[in-house]
């Protein structure tokens, strides 16, 4: 299966969902040009309240389209950007990648995965029960957060719907991603 950008999204306002666009521009060390979560410091409202100077490890949010497929099979109505992601992917097992993995998006852009997105109750504003559906308790008792991954922009560039994705793993030993 090819590794592809299914959709790209952004929103200049601090609302939950993001509008899909033909392309977005990633800015090195900053995030998605024109997106409310772009910046050198963390722009997530609850994080800013706790530490307004924290580095922004959440510049670009990615969700795998396979999650949309899984949730739609459970009766949820979803589309790219609805859950707040900037990049919707297909063919990349985002949740199994280690922290520090780099994704080459299209011709120029490179992002580095920083951690898992911690799903929040705002998901239930899209459809009741969506938050619970994005969490899964494993047999060992640990919680699997399925609502995507966060990243920083290492190399800027334009990312288009339909662009290819290439995964570059960091040197071993690999570290599992944790919520950021």
Q: What is the pLDDT of residue 126?
A: 94
62 domain-assigned: yes
Q: What is the pLDDT of residue 113?
A: 98
Q: What is the pLDDT of residue 86?
A: 98
Q: What is the pLDDT of residue 77?
A: 95
Structural contact between residues 3 and 25, judged by C-beta atoms closer than 8 angstroms: no
Q: What is the pLDDT of residue 47?
A: 83
Q: What is the pLDDT of residue 115?
A: 98
179 domain-assigned: no
177 domain-assigned: no
Non-local CB neighbours of 79 within 8 Å, separated by 6+ positions: 20, 68
176 domain-assigned: no
Q: What is the pLDDT of residue 26?
A: 98
Q: What is the pLDDT of residue 68?
A: 98
Rounded CA-CA distance 148/137 in Å is 16
Q: What is the pLDDT of residue 82?
A: 97
Domain that holds residue 117: 4-168
Q: What is the CATH number of the domain that holds 135?
A: 2.40.33.20
User: In the chain, how many domains are there?
Assistant: 1
Rounded CA-CA distance 177/9 in Å is 23
Rounded CA-CA distance 82/77 in Å is 10
Rounded CA-CA distance 41/48 in Å is 9
Mean pLDDT by 10 residues, the chain (180 residues): 95 95 98 96 85 94 98 97 98 98 98 96 95 94 95 98 98 96
């Amino acid at each position: 299966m090819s590794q592809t950008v299914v959709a790209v999204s952004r929103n200049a306002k601090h609302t939950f969902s993001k509008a899909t666009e033909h392309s977005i521009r990633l800015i090195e060390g900053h995030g998605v040009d024109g997106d409310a979560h772009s910046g050198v410091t963390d722009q997530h409202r609850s994080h800013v309240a706790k530490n307004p100077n924290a580095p922004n490890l959440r510049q670009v949010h990615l969700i795998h389209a396979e999650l949309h497929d899984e949730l739609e099979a459970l009766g949820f109505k979803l589309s790219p950007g609805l859950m707040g992601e900037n990049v919707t992917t297909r063919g990349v097992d985002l949740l199994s990648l280690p922290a520090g993995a780099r994704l080459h998006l299209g011709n120029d852009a490179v992002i580095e995965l920083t951690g898992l997105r911690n799903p929040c109750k705002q998901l239930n504003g899209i459809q009741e029960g969506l938050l619970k559906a994005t969490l899964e308790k494993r047999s060992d008792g640990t919680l699997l957060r399925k609502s995507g991954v966060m990243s920083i922009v290492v190399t800027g560039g334009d990312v288009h719907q339909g662009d290819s994705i290439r995964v570059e793993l960091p040197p071993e030993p690999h570290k599992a991603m944790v919520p950021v």
